[in-house]
Structure 1
Amino acid sequence: MTVTTETTPAPTRVVRAPRVTRIGPVAAVAHSLMMAWRGLLTFRHSPQLLYDALLLPIVGPVLFGSIFGTAIAGSMAAYLPIMIPGVLVQIVLTSSVATGVQLSEDIHSGVFDRFVAMPIARSAPVAGALLAGMVRYLLAATTVVIVGFCMGYRPEHTAGFLAGAVLVVLATTAISWLFAFIGATIARPAAVQGMCMLVLTFLGFASNALVPEESMPTWMQHVSDVNPVSYLVSAVRTLAADGAVGSDACWSLVASVVVVAVFAPLTVRTLRSR
Protein backbone atom coordinates (compact mmCIF):
# COMPACT_ATOMS: atom_id res chain seq x y z
CA MET A 1 0.00 0.00 0.00
CA THR A 2 1.42 3.32 -1.09
CA VAL A 3 1.13 6.25 1.30
CA THR A 4 0.90 9.62 -0.42
CA THR A 5 2.09 12.60 1.56
CA GLU A 6 0.93 16.04 0.61
CA THR A 7 3.38 18.87 0.96
CA THR A 8 2.27 22.41 1.55
CA PRO A 9 3.68 24.71 -1.13
CA ALA A 10 5.92 27.44 0.07
CA PRO A 11 4.35 30.86 0.06
CA THR A 12 5.07 32.86 -3.04
CA ARG A 13 7.49 35.68 -2.42
CA VAL A 14 6.61 38.93 -4.08
CA VAL A 15 9.67 40.68 -5.43
CA ARG A 16 9.19 44.38 -5.72
CA ALA A 17 11.03 46.50 -8.18
CA PRO A 18 13.68 48.71 -6.66
CA ARG A 19 12.56 52.22 -5.94
CA VAL A 20 13.99 54.75 -8.35
CA THR A 21 15.72 57.54 -6.51
CA ARG A 22 15.38 60.94 -8.03
CA ILE A 23 18.62 62.86 -8.04
CA GLY A 24 18.49 66.63 -7.89
CA PRO A 25 20.75 69.00 -9.79
CA VAL A 26 22.95 69.73 -6.76
CA ALA A 27 23.59 66.04 -6.21
CA ALA A 28 24.23 65.56 -9.93
CA VAL A 29 26.90 68.27 -9.85
CA ALA A 30 28.49 66.66 -6.79
CA HIS A 31 28.52 63.28 -8.53
CA SER A 32 30.09 64.82 -11.63
CA LEU A 33 32.84 66.41 -9.53
CA MET A 34 33.47 63.05 -7.87
CA MET A 35 33.85 61.42 -11.29
CA ALA A 36 36.12 64.27 -12.37
CA TRP A 37 38.34 63.54 -9.39
CA ARG A 38 38.41 59.91 -10.50
CA GLY A 39 39.64 61.08 -13.92
CA LEU A 40 42.36 63.21 -12.33
CA LEU A 41 43.51 60.21 -10.31
CA THR A 42 43.75 58.29 -13.57
CA PHE A 43 46.12 60.95 -14.91
CA ARG A 44 48.12 60.71 -11.71
CA HIS A 45 48.55 56.94 -11.89
CA SER A 46 49.06 56.93 -15.69
CA PRO A 47 50.86 60.17 -16.58
CA GLN A 48 51.57 58.84 -20.08
CA LEU A 49 47.97 59.73 -20.90
CA LEU A 50 49.09 63.38 -20.89
CA TYR A 51 52.09 62.92 -23.17
CA ASP A 52 50.15 63.81 -26.33
CA ALA A 53 48.87 66.98 -24.67
CA LEU A 54 52.50 67.94 -23.98
CA LEU A 55 54.35 66.79 -27.10
CA LEU A 56 51.85 67.61 -29.86
CA PRO A 57 51.69 71.33 -28.90
CA ILE A 58 55.48 71.43 -29.33
CA VAL A 59 55.78 69.46 -32.54
CA GLY A 60 52.72 70.95 -34.26
CA PRO A 61 53.67 74.65 -34.37
CA VAL A 62 57.25 73.86 -35.40
CA LEU A 63 56.16 71.60 -38.26
CA PHE A 64 53.35 73.81 -39.54
CA GLY A 65 55.50 76.92 -39.30
CA SER A 66 58.38 75.31 -41.17
CA ILE A 67 56.17 73.84 -43.90
CA PHE A 68 53.58 76.55 -44.53
CA GLY A 69 55.38 79.69 -43.31
CA THR A 70 57.33 80.57 -46.44
CA ALA A 71 54.71 79.25 -48.87
CA ILE A 72 51.78 81.23 -47.43
CA ALA A 73 53.19 84.35 -45.76
CA GLY A 74 56.73 84.56 -47.16
CA SER A 75 58.42 83.86 -43.82
CA MET A 76 57.73 82.15 -40.55
CA ALA A 77 57.63 85.45 -38.65
CA ALA A 78 54.87 86.76 -40.92
CA TYR A 79 52.99 83.48 -40.67
CA LEU A 80 52.94 83.31 -36.87
CA PRO A 81 49.91 85.65 -36.34
CA ILE A 82 47.93 83.38 -38.67
CA MET A 83 49.30 80.06 -37.50
CA ILE A 84 49.43 80.25 -33.71
CA PRO A 85 45.68 80.90 -33.15
CA GLY A 86 44.82 78.19 -35.70
CA VAL A 87 47.23 75.65 -34.25
CA LEU A 88 45.96 76.49 -30.76
CA VAL A 89 42.42 75.55 -31.77
CA GLN A 90 43.44 72.45 -33.71
CA ILE A 91 45.69 70.97 -31.05
CA VAL A 92 43.32 71.58 -28.15
CA LEU A 93 40.51 69.99 -30.18
CA THR A 94 42.76 67.01 -30.88
CA SER A 95 43.23 66.53 -27.14
CA SER A 96 39.45 66.15 -26.74
CA VAL A 97 39.39 62.91 -28.74
CA ALA A 98 40.65 61.06 -25.66
CA THR A 99 37.30 61.73 -23.96
CA GLY A 100 35.36 59.54 -26.38
CA VAL A 101 38.04 56.86 -26.40
CA GLN A 102 38.15 56.70 -22.59
CA LEU A 103 34.36 56.43 -22.39
CA SER A 104 34.37 53.58 -24.91
CA GLU A 105 37.08 51.79 -22.93
CA ASP A 106 35.02 52.11 -19.73
CA ILE A 107 32.01 50.60 -21.50
CA HIS A 108 34.04 47.84 -23.14
CA SER A 109 35.83 46.84 -19.91
CA GLY A 110 32.67 46.84 -17.80
CA VAL A 111 33.62 49.77 -15.59
CA PHE A 112 30.62 51.74 -16.78
CA ASP A 113 28.32 48.91 -15.62
CA ARG A 114 29.57 49.52 -12.10
CA PHE A 115 28.78 53.20 -12.45
CA VAL A 116 25.24 52.36 -13.56
CA ALA A 117 24.76 50.17 -10.47
CA MET A 118 25.66 53.10 -8.23
CA PRO A 119 23.02 55.58 -6.99
CA ILE A 120 24.49 58.45 -8.99
CA ALA A 121 23.26 60.65 -11.81
CA ARG A 122 23.41 58.99 -15.22
CA SER A 123 25.22 61.99 -16.66
CA ALA A 124 27.88 62.03 -13.92
CA PRO A 125 30.40 59.60 -15.52
CA VAL A 126 30.41 61.51 -18.81
CA ALA A 127 30.31 64.97 -17.26
CA GLY A 128 33.09 64.00 -14.87
CA ALA A 129 35.25 62.74 -17.75
CA LEU A 130 34.70 66.02 -19.59
CA LEU A 131 35.64 68.06 -16.52
CA ALA A 132 38.78 66.00 -16.03
CA GLY A 133 39.54 66.46 -19.72
CA MET A 134 39.74 70.21 -19.15
CA VAL A 135 43.11 69.55 -17.50
CA ARG A 136 44.35 68.15 -20.81
CA TYR A 137 42.96 71.14 -22.71
CA LEU A 138 44.53 73.64 -20.31
CA LEU A 139 47.84 71.81 -20.52
CA ALA A 140 47.76 71.75 -24.33
CA ALA A 141 46.71 75.40 -24.60
CA THR A 142 49.39 76.55 -22.16
CA THR A 143 52.06 74.63 -24.08
CA VAL A 144 50.99 76.14 -27.41
CA VAL A 145 51.10 79.64 -25.91
CA ILE A 146 54.60 79.07 -24.52
CA VAL A 147 55.87 77.55 -27.78
CA GLY A 148 54.36 80.41 -29.76
CA PHE A 149 56.18 83.01 -27.67
CA CYS A 150 59.40 81.00 -27.97
CA MET A 151 59.02 81.02 -31.77
CA GLY A 152 58.72 84.81 -31.77
CA TYR A 153 54.97 85.33 -31.76
CA ARG A 154 54.08 88.67 -30.17
CA PRO A 155 50.34 89.48 -30.25
CA GLU A 156 49.22 93.09 -30.15
CA HIS A 157 47.12 92.32 -27.07
CA THR A 158 48.62 89.60 -24.91
CA ALA A 159 45.70 89.63 -22.49
CA GLY A 160 43.29 89.23 -25.38
CA PHE A 161 45.28 86.29 -26.71
CA LEU A 162 45.21 84.61 -23.30
CA ALA A 163 41.46 85.22 -23.14
CA GLY A 164 41.19 83.57 -26.55
CA ALA A 165 43.02 80.52 -25.17
CA VAL A 166 40.48 80.31 -22.35
CA LEU A 167 37.68 80.57 -24.92
CA VAL A 168 39.23 77.66 -26.84
CA VAL A 169 39.32 75.52 -23.69
CA LEU A 170 35.67 76.25 -22.91
CA ALA A 171 34.54 75.62 -26.49
CA THR A 172 36.54 72.39 -26.65
CA THR A 173 34.89 71.17 -23.45
CA ALA A 174 31.52 71.71 -25.10
CA ILE A 175 32.57 70.03 -28.35
CA SER A 176 33.78 67.05 -26.31
CA TRP A 177 30.13 66.02 -25.96
CA LEU A 178 30.22 65.17 -29.67
CA PHE A 179 33.15 62.80 -29.16
CA ALA A 180 31.51 61.41 -26.02
CA PHE A 181 28.44 60.57 -28.12
CA ILE A 182 30.66 58.76 -30.62
CA GLY A 183 32.31 56.86 -27.76
CA ALA A 184 28.91 55.82 -26.39
CA THR A 185 27.65 54.72 -29.80
CA ILE A 186 30.61 52.73 -31.16
CA ALA A 187 31.65 49.62 -29.24
CA ARG A 188 35.38 49.39 -29.97
CA PRO A 189 37.80 52.06 -28.64
CA ALA A 190 39.99 51.78 -31.75
CA ALA A 191 36.99 52.46 -33.97
CA VAL A 192 36.03 55.40 -31.76
CA GLN A 193 39.46 56.94 -32.16
CA GLY A 194 39.34 56.50 -35.94
CA MET A 195 35.87 58.06 -36.23
CA CYS A 196 36.76 60.96 -33.94
CA MET A 197 39.93 61.69 -35.89
CA LEU A 198 37.93 61.62 -39.14
CA VAL A 199 35.50 64.22 -37.78
CA LEU A 200 38.33 66.27 -36.31
CA THR A 201 40.35 66.20 -39.53
CA PHE A 202 37.40 67.51 -41.49
CA LEU A 203 36.60 70.25 -38.98
CA GLY A 204 40.24 71.28 -38.62
CA PHE A 205 41.42 71.37 -42.22
CA ALA A 206 38.16 72.58 -43.80
CA SER A 207 38.59 75.84 -41.91
CA ASN A 208 40.74 78.96 -41.89
CA ALA A 209 43.03 77.57 -39.18
CA LEU A 210 46.15 77.14 -41.33
CA VAL A 211 45.46 78.83 -44.67
CA PRO A 212 43.38 81.86 -45.70
CA GLU A 213 39.96 81.11 -47.13
CA GLU A 214 40.87 82.95 -50.34
CA SER A 215 43.30 80.18 -51.27
CA MET A 216 40.62 77.47 -51.01
CA PRO A 217 38.35 76.19 -53.77
CA THR A 218 34.93 77.82 -53.92
CA TRP A 219 33.06 74.87 -52.47
CA MET A 220 35.48 74.61 -49.54
CA GLN A 221 35.12 78.31 -48.83
CA HIS A 222 31.40 77.75 -48.31
CA VAL A 223 32.19 74.84 -45.98
CA SER A 224 34.65 77.00 -44.05
CA ASP A 225 32.05 79.77 -43.73
CA VAL A 226 29.73 77.48 -41.75
CA ASN A 227 32.47 75.58 -39.91
CA PRO A 228 32.40 76.42 -36.16
CA VAL A 229 36.18 75.93 -36.02
CA SER A 230 36.61 78.87 -38.41
CA TYR A 231 34.59 81.11 -36.09
CA LEU A 232 36.65 79.99 -33.11
CA VAL A 233 39.96 80.64 -34.89
CA SER A 234 38.76 84.06 -36.08
CA ALA A 235 37.66 84.89 -32.54
CA VAL A 236 41.15 84.13 -31.17
CA ARG A 237 42.81 86.17 -33.92
CA THR A 238 40.53 89.14 -33.22
CA LEU A 239 41.22 88.97 -29.49
CA ALA A 240 44.97 88.75 -30.12
CA ALA A 241 45.05 91.57 -32.67
CA ASP A 242 42.44 94.01 -31.32
CA GLY A 243 41.73 92.80 -27.80
CA ALA A 244 37.99 92.98 -28.55
CA VAL A 245 35.25 90.39 -28.40
CA GLY A 246 33.82 90.28 -31.90
CA SER A 247 30.89 88.50 -33.48
CA ASP A 248 33.02 85.41 -34.11
CA ALA A 249 33.43 84.87 -30.37
CA CYS A 250 29.67 85.20 -29.88
CA TRP A 251 28.99 82.68 -32.65
CA SER A 252 31.54 80.32 -31.10
CA LEU A 253 29.72 80.46 -27.79
CA VAL A 254 26.37 79.92 -29.52
CA ALA A 255 27.77 76.90 -31.37
CA SER A 256 29.13 75.50 -28.11
CA VAL A 257 25.74 75.81 -26.43
CA VAL A 258 24.05 74.13 -29.40
CA VAL A 259 26.51 71.21 -29.31
CA VAL A 260 25.90 70.67 -25.60
CA ALA A 261 22.12 70.99 -26.00
CA VAL A 262 22.06 68.41 -28.78
CA PHE A 263 24.71 65.84 -27.88
CA ALA A 264 24.53 65.83 -24.08
CA PRO A 265 20.96 64.39 -23.99
CA LEU A 266 21.78 62.02 -26.86
CA THR A 267 24.85 60.71 -25.04
CA VAL A 268 23.02 60.18 -21.75
CA ARG A 269 20.11 58.48 -23.55
CA THR A 270 22.48 56.20 -25.46
CA LEU A 271 24.27 55.21 -22.26
CA ARG A 272 20.98 54.57 -20.50
CA SER A 273 19.84 52.25 -23.28
CA ARG A 274 23.10 50.33 -22.96
Structure 2
Amino acid sequence: MSVTESKVAAQPAPVAKGGLSQSVTDSLIVAKRNLIRMKRIPEMVIFGLIQPVMFVVLFSYVFGGSINVPGAGLDPGAYREFLMAGIFAQTVTFATAGAGAGIAEDMHRGLIDRFRSLPMARGAVLTGRTLADLVQTALTLVVLALVALLVGWRTHENALKVLAGFGLLLLLGYAFTWIGALIGLSVRTPEAATSGGLIWLFPLTFISIAFVPSQNMPTVLQHIAEWNPFSATVQAARELFGNVAPGYPVPDAWPMQHPAWASLIWSVLIIAVFRTLAVRKYKSASG
Protein backbone atom coordinates (compact mmCIF):
# COMPACT_ATOMS: atom_id res chain seq x y z
CA MET A 1 0.00 0.00 0.00
CA SER A 2 1.35 3.42 -0.94
CA VAL A 3 1.72 6.33 1.46
CA THR A 4 -1.20 8.16 -0.19
CA GLU A 5 -3.46 5.13 0.12
CA SER A 6 -2.50 4.74 3.78
CA LYS A 7 -3.48 8.35 4.49
CA VAL A 8 -6.85 7.93 2.74
CA ALA A 9 -7.56 4.68 4.60
CA ALA A 10 -6.70 6.31 7.90
CA GLN A 11 -9.13 9.19 7.43
CA PRO A 12 -12.20 8.82 9.66
CA ALA A 13 -15.71 8.88 8.21
CA PRO A 14 -17.31 12.35 8.03
CA VAL A 15 -19.09 13.32 11.23
CA ALA A 16 -22.39 15.18 11.27
CA LYS A 17 -22.46 18.52 13.04
CA GLY A 18 -25.44 17.36 15.04
CA GLY A 19 -28.24 19.42 16.48
CA LEU A 20 -31.91 19.73 15.63
CA SER A 21 -31.29 21.99 12.63
CA GLN A 22 -28.91 19.49 11.04
CA SER A 23 -31.34 16.63 11.63
CA VAL A 24 -34.30 18.51 10.15
CA THR A 25 -32.32 19.61 7.08
CA ASP A 26 -30.96 16.13 6.42
CA SER A 27 -34.39 14.54 6.92
CA LEU A 28 -35.99 16.91 4.40
CA ILE A 29 -33.25 16.20 1.84
CA VAL A 30 -33.81 12.45 2.16
CA ALA A 31 -37.58 12.96 1.99
CA LYS A 32 -37.16 15.00 -1.21
CA ARG A 33 -35.04 12.22 -2.72
CA ASN A 34 -37.75 9.66 -2.03
CA LEU A 35 -40.53 11.91 -3.35
CA ILE A 36 -38.61 12.43 -6.60
CA ARG A 37 -38.25 8.67 -6.88
CA MET A 38 -42.01 8.24 -6.46
CA LYS A 39 -42.60 10.86 -9.16
CA ARG A 40 -40.36 8.98 -11.57
CA ILE A 41 -42.07 5.66 -10.80
CA PRO A 42 -45.79 6.64 -10.79
CA GLU A 43 -46.93 3.01 -10.81
CA MET A 44 -45.89 2.86 -7.15
CA VAL A 45 -48.61 5.38 -6.33
CA ILE A 46 -51.15 3.95 -8.79
CA PHE A 47 -50.89 0.39 -7.49
CA GLY A 48 -51.10 1.73 -3.94
CA LEU A 49 -54.50 3.23 -4.81
CA ILE A 50 -56.06 0.15 -6.40
CA GLN A 51 -56.47 -1.98 -3.26
CA PRO A 52 -58.19 0.64 -1.04
CA VAL A 53 -60.52 1.67 -3.90
CA MET A 54 -61.47 -1.99 -4.37
CA PHE A 55 -62.18 -2.28 -0.64
CA VAL A 56 -64.46 0.77 -0.76
CA VAL A 57 -66.47 -0.54 -3.69
CA LEU A 58 -66.66 -4.17 -2.54
CA PHE A 59 -67.55 -3.48 1.08
CA SER A 60 -70.04 -0.77 0.13
CA TYR A 61 -72.01 -2.76 -2.42
CA VAL A 62 -71.37 -6.40 -1.46
CA PHE A 63 -71.68 -6.17 2.33
CA GLY A 64 -73.52 -2.86 2.68
CA GLY A 65 -76.98 -4.38 2.94
CA SER A 66 -76.10 -7.42 5.00
CA ILE A 67 -74.23 -6.06 8.04
CA ASN A 68 -76.28 -4.66 10.90
CA VAL A 69 -75.10 -1.33 12.30
CA PRO A 70 -76.52 -0.84 15.83
CA GLY A 71 -78.82 2.16 15.74
CA ALA A 72 -79.22 2.08 11.96
CA GLY A 73 -80.14 -1.50 11.07
CA LEU A 74 -79.33 -2.85 7.60
CA ASP A 75 -79.40 0.51 5.84
CA PRO A 76 -76.63 0.37 3.15
CA GLY A 77 -76.09 4.12 3.43
CA ALA A 78 -75.54 3.89 7.19
CA TYR A 79 -73.04 1.07 6.71
CA ARG A 80 -71.08 3.13 4.17
CA GLU A 81 -70.72 5.90 6.72
CA PHE A 82 -69.80 3.37 9.41
CA LEU A 83 -67.32 1.70 7.05
CA MET A 84 -65.33 4.58 5.60
CA ALA A 85 -63.35 5.51 8.72
CA GLY A 86 -62.22 1.87 8.89
CA ILE A 87 -61.18 1.83 5.23
CA PHE A 88 -59.26 5.10 5.68
CA ALA A 89 -57.47 3.70 8.73
CA GLN A 90 -56.68 0.43 6.96
CA THR A 91 -55.23 2.33 4.01
CA VAL A 92 -52.86 4.46 6.09
CA THR A 93 -51.66 1.50 8.16
CA PHE A 94 -51.09 -0.78 5.17
CA ALA A 95 -48.53 1.76 3.97
CA THR A 96 -46.33 0.09 6.62
CA ALA A 97 -45.49 -2.72 4.20
CA GLY A 98 -44.32 -0.28 1.52
CA ALA A 99 -42.15 1.60 4.00
CA GLY A 100 -40.49 -1.59 5.20
CA ALA A 101 -39.92 -2.86 1.67
CA GLY A 102 -38.39 0.46 0.58
CA ILE A 103 -35.93 0.54 3.45
CA ALA A 104 -35.06 -3.13 2.96
CA GLU A 105 -34.36 -2.41 -0.72
CA ASP A 106 -32.08 0.52 0.17
CA MET A 107 -30.22 -1.74 2.59
CA HIS A 108 -29.94 -4.51 -0.02
CA ARG A 109 -28.55 -2.13 -2.65
CA GLY A 110 -26.03 -0.62 -0.26
CA LEU A 111 -27.61 2.84 -0.35
CA ILE A 112 -27.81 3.00 3.44
CA ASP A 113 -24.05 2.45 3.69
CA ARG A 114 -23.51 5.30 1.25
CA PHE A 115 -25.63 7.58 3.42
CA ARG A 116 -23.52 6.57 6.41
CA SER A 117 -20.41 7.81 4.64
CA LEU A 118 -21.88 11.33 4.56
CA PRO A 119 -21.79 13.86 7.43
CA MET A 120 -25.49 13.64 8.19
CA ALA A 121 -27.66 12.97 11.22
CA ARG A 122 -28.05 9.23 11.81
CA GLY A 123 -31.82 9.28 12.20
CA ALA A 124 -32.34 11.48 9.14
CA VAL A 125 -32.35 8.58 6.65
CA LEU A 126 -35.28 6.90 8.36
CA THR A 127 -37.10 10.13 9.21
CA GLY A 128 -36.85 11.32 5.62
CA ARG A 129 -38.13 8.02 4.32
CA THR A 130 -41.11 7.99 6.68
CA LEU A 131 -41.97 11.62 5.83
CA ALA A 132 -41.98 10.77 2.11
CA ASP A 133 -44.25 7.80 2.82
CA LEU A 134 -46.53 10.13 4.80
CA VAL A 135 -46.89 12.42 1.76
CA GLN A 136 -47.77 9.46 -0.46
CA THR A 137 -50.29 8.24 2.13
CA ALA A 138 -51.90 11.69 2.28
CA LEU A 139 -52.32 11.73 -1.51
CA THR A 140 -53.85 8.25 -1.41
CA LEU A 141 -56.23 9.38 1.32
CA VAL A 142 -57.40 12.36 -0.78
CA VAL A 143 -58.18 10.12 -3.76
CA LEU A 144 -59.88 7.57 -1.52
CA ALA A 145 -62.07 10.25 0.05
CA LEU A 146 -63.21 11.35 -3.42
CA VAL A 147 -64.10 7.75 -4.30
CA ALA A 148 -65.98 7.44 -1.00
CA LEU A 149 -68.01 10.54 -1.84
CA LEU A 150 -68.92 8.98 -5.17
CA VAL A 151 -70.34 5.85 -3.49
CA GLY A 152 -72.43 7.86 -1.04
CA TRP A 153 -70.22 8.62 1.97
CA ARG A 154 -70.87 11.99 3.62
CA THR A 155 -69.55 13.91 6.63
CA HIS A 156 -71.88 15.71 9.03
CA GLU A 157 -69.48 17.90 11.04
CA ASN A 158 -67.69 21.16 10.32
CA ALA A 159 -64.52 21.33 8.25
CA LEU A 160 -62.20 21.65 11.26
CA LYS A 161 -63.47 18.42 12.80
CA VAL A 162 -63.24 16.60 9.47
CA LEU A 163 -59.64 17.78 9.02
CA ALA A 164 -58.87 16.72 12.60
CA GLY A 165 -60.21 13.25 11.77
CA PHE A 166 -57.93 12.97 8.76
CA GLY A 167 -55.06 14.33 10.87
CA LEU A 168 -55.45 11.52 13.40
CA LEU A 169 -55.57 8.98 10.56
CA LEU A 170 -52.33 10.32 9.07
CA LEU A 171 -50.67 10.38 12.49
CA LEU A 172 -51.55 6.71 12.98
CA GLY A 173 -50.20 5.93 9.50
CA TYR A 174 -46.97 7.79 10.27
CA ALA A 175 -46.61 5.91 13.55
CA PHE A 176 -47.01 2.58 11.79
CA THR A 177 -44.38 3.45 9.15
CA TRP A 178 -41.84 3.39 11.98
CA ILE A 179 -42.87 -0.20 12.67
CA GLY A 180 -42.33 -0.83 8.96
CA ALA A 181 -38.92 0.83 9.15
CA LEU A 182 -37.87 -1.49 11.96
CA ILE A 183 -39.09 -4.52 10.00
CA GLY A 184 -37.25 -3.34 6.87
CA LEU A 185 -34.01 -3.03 8.80
CA SER A 186 -34.46 -6.46 10.40
CA VAL A 187 -34.92 -8.60 7.28
CA ARG A 188 -32.66 -9.40 4.34
CA THR A 189 -34.87 -8.80 1.32
CA PRO A 190 -37.67 -6.41 0.27
CA GLU A 191 -39.97 -9.41 -0.28
CA ALA A 192 -39.53 -10.49 3.32
CA ALA A 193 -40.19 -6.92 4.47
CA THR A 194 -43.46 -6.82 2.51
CA SER A 195 -44.63 -10.13 4.01
CA GLY A 196 -43.48 -9.15 7.48
CA GLY A 197 -45.20 -5.79 7.17
CA LEU A 198 -48.58 -7.30 6.27
CA ILE A 199 -48.85 -10.50 8.28
CA TRP A 200 -49.51 -8.76 11.60
CA LEU A 201 -51.69 -6.02 10.09
CA PHE A 202 -54.53 -8.34 9.11
CA PRO A 203 -55.43 -9.43 12.66
CA LEU A 204 -54.86 -5.88 13.90
CA THR A 205 -57.32 -4.39 11.41
CA PHE A 206 -59.93 -7.14 11.43
CA ILE A 207 -60.03 -7.63 15.22
CA SER A 208 -61.23 -4.07 15.54
CA ILE A 209 -64.35 -1.99 15.06
CA ALA A 210 -63.36 -1.04 11.51
CA PHE A 211 -65.77 -3.28 9.62
CA VAL A 212 -68.21 -4.65 12.20
CA PRO A 213 -69.30 -3.40 15.64
CA SER A 214 -67.49 -4.99 18.57
CA GLN A 215 -70.87 -6.00 20.06
CA ASN A 216 -71.05 -8.78 17.44
CA MET A 217 -67.78 -10.37 18.60
CA PRO A 218 -67.08 -12.96 21.34
CA THR A 219 -66.34 -11.37 24.71
CA VAL A 220 -62.56 -11.84 24.56
CA LEU A 221 -62.33 -10.36 21.09
CA GLN A 222 -64.55 -7.47 22.16
CA HIS A 223 -61.99 -6.40 24.77
CA ILE A 224 -59.11 -6.77 22.29
CA ALA A 225 -60.96 -4.77 19.64
CA GLU A 226 -61.95 -1.98 22.03
CA TRP A 227 -58.38 -1.49 23.30
CA ASN A 228 -56.84 -1.84 19.86
CA PRO A 229 -55.03 1.42 18.82
CA PHE A 230 -56.47 0.93 15.35
CA SER A 231 -60.00 0.92 16.79
CA ALA A 232 -59.38 4.11 18.76
CA THR A 233 -58.44 5.99 15.59
CA VAL A 234 -61.39 4.54 13.66
CA GLN A 235 -63.85 5.56 16.38
CA ALA A 236 -62.27 9.03 16.66
CA ALA A 237 -62.55 9.53 12.90
CA ARG A 238 -66.19 8.39 12.91
CA GLU A 239 -67.06 10.89 15.61
CA LEU A 240 -65.16 13.73 13.95
CA PHE A 241 -66.77 12.95 10.59
CA GLY A 242 -70.21 12.71 12.19
CA ASN A 243 -70.59 9.11 11.03
CA VAL A 244 -71.85 7.60 14.29
CA ALA A 245 -75.51 6.55 14.01
CA PRO A 246 -77.77 8.28 16.58
CA GLY A 247 -78.62 5.00 18.32
CA TYR A 248 -75.14 3.45 18.12
CA PRO A 249 -74.15 2.08 21.57
CA VAL A 250 -70.58 3.19 22.21
CA PRO A 251 -68.66 0.54 24.23
CA ASP A 252 -67.75 1.37 27.84
CA ALA A 253 -63.99 0.86 27.35
CA TRP A 254 -62.00 4.07 27.97
CA PRO A 255 -60.52 4.25 24.43
CA MET A 256 -64.02 4.05 22.95
CA GLN A 257 -65.35 6.74 25.32
CA HIS A 258 -62.40 9.06 24.62
CA PRO A 259 -61.24 7.92 21.16
CA ALA A 260 -59.49 11.11 20.05
CA TRP A 261 -57.27 11.18 23.13
CA ALA A 262 -56.71 7.43 22.95
CA SER A 263 -55.72 7.67 19.27
CA LEU A 264 -53.31 10.53 19.96
CA ILE A 265 -51.71 8.74 22.92
CA TRP A 266 -51.34 5.45 21.04
CA SER A 267 -49.80 7.12 17.97
CA VAL A 268 -47.30 9.20 19.93
CA LEU A 269 -46.33 6.16 22.02
CA ILE A 270 -45.79 4.01 18.92
CA ILE A 271 -43.63 6.71 17.30
CA ALA A 272 -41.55 7.17 20.45
CA VAL A 273 -40.92 3.44 20.92
CA PHE A 274 -40.42 2.29 17.34
CA ARG A 275 -38.44 5.32 16.17
CA THR A 276 -35.97 4.68 18.99
CA LEU A 277 -35.74 0.98 18.11
CA ALA A 278 -35.46 1.66 14.36
CA VAL A 279 -32.70 4.25 14.71
CA ARG A 280 -30.79 1.93 17.05
CA LYS A 281 -31.22 -0.94 14.58
CA TYR A 282 -30.10 1.31 11.72
CA LYS A 283 -26.86 2.15 13.50
CA SER A 284 -26.05 -1.47 14.30
CA ALA A 285 -27.30 -3.02 11.04
CA SER A 286 -25.21 -0.83 8.82
CA GLY A 287 -22.32 -0.21 11.14
- The letter for the 1-side match of 2:152 is G
Matched, 1:86 2:48: no
Aligned to 2:249: none
Contact map agreement 2:17 2:120 (CA 8 A) in 1: no
Within 5 A, what are the aligned runs for 1:213-252? Answer: 213-241=214-242, 247-252=258-263
Aligned CA RMSD, in angstroms, stands at 2.0
Q: Which moved more, 1:218-227 or 1:28-37?
A: 218-227
Within 5 A, what are the aligned runs for 1:1-274? Answer: 15=10, 17=12, 20-73=15-68, 74-157=74-157, 159=159, 160-241=161-242, 247-274=258-285
Q: Separation in 1 of the partners of 2:32 and 2:260?
A: 30
- The letter for the 2-side match of 1:129 is R
* CA positional deviation for 1:111: 0.9
Q: Separation in 2 of the partners of 1:18 and 1:87?
A: 46
CA displacement 1:73-108 (0-9 Å, x = unmatched): 324212112101111111121123211110000001
Q: Separation in 1 of the partners of 2:58 and 2:209?
A: 17
Q: Which moved more, 1:33-42 or 1:216-225?
A: 216-225
Count of aligned pairs: 261
Contact map agreement 2:100 2:193 (CA 8 A) in 1: yes
Contact map agreement 1:85 1:236 (CA 8 A) in 2: yes
Q: Separation in 2 of the partners of 1:82 and 1:53?
A: 23
- The letter for the 1-side match of 2:259 is D
- The letter for the 2-side match of 1:67 is V
Q: Separation in 2 of the partners of 1:143 and 1:51?
A: 11
Q: Which moved more, 1:76-85 or 1:161-170?
A: 161-170
CA displacement 1:226-259 (0-9 Å, x = unmatched): 210000000001101189xx72111111111111
Q: Separation in 2 of the partners of 1:149 and 1:21?
A: 48
Structure 2 SS opposite 1:70: coil
Q: Which moved more, 1:101-110 or 1:54-63?
A: 54-63
Could you tell me which runs of 5 or more consecutive residues in structure 2 were left unpaired when the two chains were aligned.
Answer: 69-73, 245-256
Contact map agreement 1:57 1:143 (CA 8 A) in 2: no
Q: Separation in 1 of the partners of 2:125 and 2:19?
A: 16
Q: Separation in 2 of the partners of 1:212 and 1:68?
A: 14
Contact map agreement 2:187 2:193 (CA 8 A) in 1: yes
Q: Which moved more, 1:121-130 or 1:61-70?
A: 61-70
Q: Separation in 1 of the partners of 2:33 and 2:187?
A: 23
CA displacement 1:123-165 (0-9 Å, x = unmatched): 1111001111112211121122111111112221152234312
Provide the TM-score with structure 2 as the length reference: 0.85
Q: Separation in 1 of the partners of 2:13 and 2:110?
A: 22
Aligned to 2:251: none
Contact map agreement 2:15 2:120 (CA 8 A) in 1: no
Q: Separation in 2 of the partners of 1:68 and 1:105?
A: 38
* CA positional deviation for 1:166: 2.3
Structure 1 SS opposite 2:153: coil
* CA positional deviation for 1:116: 0.8
Could you tell me which runs of 5 or more consecutive residues in structure 1 were left unpaired when the two chains were aligned.
Answer: 1-9
Q: What is the percent sequence identity of the aligned residues? A: 33
CA displacement 1:30-53 (0-9 Å, x = unmatched): 000000000111011111110133
